[in-house]
Amino acid sequence: MSTEPQLISMALPKDRQDEMKRAGSGSEEFLERRARHLLSDTEGMFPVGRLEPDEIEVLDTEMTRHGALDWYRNPTGGGAR
């Protein structure tokens, strides 16, 4: 809660679970995934099943911009960088 940017250290979680599949019409279906998430799997992909459709649209748009590196959605807020 500062008016000035603060330098903080970050650590990757040792354990993280995200929904990879969802029960669909009689079977489990893999959720959509996107590349370049900070916590991507070994294939470089991350499920976006928890995102709202408008968030996915913004993510897809922002990640095509020159200079976009990776993305991370804050669990309590959200965003791409």
- Note the pLDDT tens digit of each residue in 24-75: 666 677 778 999 998 888 889 998 888 889 999 999 999 999 999 999 887 7
Question: 78: pLDDT confidence band, cut at 50, 70 and 90?
Answer: very low
Q: Give the number of other Cβ atoms within 10 Å of residue 53's Cβ.
A: 8
Tokens representing residue 1 in the block: 């809660």
Please measure the distance between the N-terminal and C-terminal CA atoms of the chain and give it in whole angstroms: 20
pLDDT value at 21 more than 70: no
Using a cut of 0.85, tell me whether the model's pTM lies above it.
Answer: no
CA dist., res. 65 & res. 60, Å (int): 9
pLDDT at 14: 65
Q: Three-state secondary structure along the chain?
A: CCCCCCCCCCCCCCCCCCCCEEECCCCEEECCEEECECCCCCCCEEECCCCCHHHHHHHHHHCCCCCCCCECCCCCCCCEC
pLDDT at 56: 94
